[in-house]
Amino acid sequence: MSQKHPTLTTPFGERAKQADHPLTEYLYRLMVLKSSNLCLSADVHTARELVTLADKAGPSIVVLKTHYDLISGWDYNPVTGTGAKLAALARKHGFLIFEDRKFVDIGKTVQMQYTAGTARIIDWAHITNANIDAGKDMVWAMAEAAAKWKERINYEVKTSVTVGTPVSDHFDDGLENGDENGRLDPREQLGGYGSNDRGADARKGSIVSITTVTQSFEPAGSPRLPKSISEGDESVFPGIEEPPTDRGLLLLAQMSSKGCLMTREYTQACVEAAREHKNFVMGYVAQESLNTAPDDNFIHITPGCKLPPEGEEENGHIKGDGLGQQYNTPAKLINIKGTDIIIVGRGIICADDPPSEAERYRKKAWKAYLSRVGLE
Ligand code: BMP
């Protein structure tokens, strides 16, 4: 880490003005507004626990990190499901959702994993991350998928279906390869995934009446995320607008685990990929600041963080979890290593009172930031 890099001493409010990515700019402003540089890693067992924790700890955090695939009972419904509920809580409490998916595969596969499948991660997670062992082109592929998603999401698709009496078994609604204007289903524009799995014959066989599908595309005035959740909580966090519709990527440049095999060359490749994709890469999941070039202004978010119990010596060694995880204190990660946001999981979740423990971490991490930039 270069001790002299300007980002280490520049307040977040100033870094917002210089940010390359709209979501990074928003996140810095949110951090200042909430006096928080805390990300909660919500690694709980059930969707119910996840939603409850997000609601209770929401006021203390700026990022909620998920691993959707370790949550039992995750509801995939795009409008009323778990992703939509988290999106509503993010709006209410003012935090961004970071799905810690660690994508790594060929470009085409990650595009599909990111935008489609059961979880449709891109619909509810503002941020996700990638391990670029598969090569830098993967970042390009994800950036392309996110740009197409953004184009699509800025139009609301209204679909009305009317059912009448069948006159023949011929289904000729002009929608076989698009609507009446030749427009493809926006989901199929991303490369046609899923577009060949329903042949015309299969459709004919299932027709019992004439079905007319009308689609109209309307510009949406505000950022689109699923807005209605079953609980119906539509409130919006005061003091800041809703986040932009842009999606952001963090590159997994270094890990907190013992014996991590990520080499310096790998980390350097992440730095190069970030600089090449400033419109999509927000920064890094890393153990130290990787900003070295004069105009680097990437955000750093760091896991492997724990505080000793209240009242105990803060600068002592923090024991790992016995499964390879290693921990550092917020002060060490922010002041000495130069990270911006700390990620805390079990340190908060396993406390007797997780919301007040989240507050304790928020205060410690913010204090470390203020002291780093000389505001304290
Ligand atoms: P905990 O604070 O309970 O150790 O959780 C850390 C979280 O951060 C986990 O969700 C883990 O997957 C994630 N993580 C990590 O611990 N180290 C890394 O280098 C990268 C991670 O995403």
Nearest ligand 1 atom to alpha carbon 254? 19
- Low-confidence residues of the chain, pLDDT below 70? 1-3, 156-233
Q: Whose CA is nearest to atom 22 of ligand 1?
A: 100
The predicted structure's pLDDT at residue 191: 34
The residue whose CB lies within 8 Å of the most ligand 1 atoms, and thus the one to mutate among 41, 70, 249, 329, is 41
Q: Whose CA is nearest to atom 12 of ligand 1?
A: 100
Q: Name the CA dihedral angle for 332, 334, 339, 343, rounded to a multiple of 10 degrees.
A: 80
Report how far ligand 1's centroid is from the alpha carbon of 130 (Å).
14
Q: Note the pTM of the prediction, 2 decimals.
A: 0.83
Q: What is the pLDDT of residues 326-349, one digit of tens each?
A: 999 999 999 999 999 999 999 999
Beta bridge partners, 305, equal 328
Contact 12, 368 (CB under 8 A): no
What DSSP element (H or E) covers 206?
helix 200-206
Give the single-character DSSP code of 226.
-
The predicted structure's pLDDT at residue 351: 97
Q: What's the CA gap between 342 and 372, in Å, rounded? A: 14
Active site residue 352: no
What DSSP element (H or E) covers 285?
strand 281-285
The residue whose CB lies within 8 Å of the most ligand 1 atoms, and thus the one to mutate among 38, 43, 45, is 43
Q: What are the structure tokens assigned to 213, written together?
A: 């599908």
Report how far ligand 1's centroid is from the alpha carbon of 260 (Å).
13
The predicted structure's pLDDT at residue 313: 83
The predicted structure's pLDDT at residue 220: 45
Active site residue 102: yes
